[in-house]
A = this chain, B = another copy of it.
């Protein structure tokens, strides 16, 4: 073996994942991928003979592994709340505390090949299933558990979108901090401080009409 690898597979996948997640599939040019990886374009083709599509597939495989590891505590029967809290911590780490976009969102736009979209859907399913499982072990019935899990997913993804738009990850962080409460009580976090009072409505201000129904 003449020349050793200058960067491990996992490290390489992580670097490529960073480019893909911030730029999307079409936006991630080979030049940008090579620069992010610290390799020349031709070197990337040596490691990924299938080209850009194979790079993205490898990234999705790596991402799936990261998520399965993050979701693992949530699957334990021991202490559901503690498991959910630990998984929430790991999920937040994947997103750099809300600073980085979600590859499931950004890598599934129109230009992305079907194989990538399929893998993203798989990861999404595994993630929501894990949260629904935790909710069920927390006492919810199957339907309520799935709703709570989808709601949690939606809050996290939407929180990341808002973080990118306003440069403010606080909504994402609320979704992460409120994850145990959402899954295990079916209720969202009431406000900024998860331990605060039930809400801050002004009872004297009369809502002019009944809400929704």
Contacts and interface: CB of A to CB of B under 8 A. Distances in A.
Interface string A154-171: 111111011011100001
B139 A202 contact: yes
A74 B184 CA distance: 33
Interface in A21-47: 22-27
A82 interface: yes
Majority-rule SS of A interface residues: helix
A27 B23 CA distance: 10
Given A125-B166, A191-B144, A194-B212, A207 B111 contact: no
A6 interface: no
A143 to B, nearest CB: 6
Interface in A147-192: 147, 150-151, 153-159, 161-162, 164-166, 171, 174-175, 177-178, 180-181, 183-192
A55 interface: no
A67 to B, nearest CB: 13
Contacts of A141: 200-202
Nearest to A161: B157
Q: How many copies does the complex hold?
A: 2
A109 B164 CA distance: 9
Contacts of A166: 121, 124-125
A108 interface: yes
Given A23-B111, A109-B22, A165-B121, A79 B191 contact: no
A154 B185 CA distance: 20
18 contacts: A23-B109, A25-B27, A79-B209, A81-B210, A85-B212, A108-B165, A125-B166, A139-B203, A139-B205, A140-B201, A154-B159, A177-B212, A184-B207, A184-B211, A185-B212, A186-B199, A187-B188, A195-B212
A15 to B, nearest CB: 15
B191 A213 contact: no
Contact of A161 (B105, B151, B201): B105
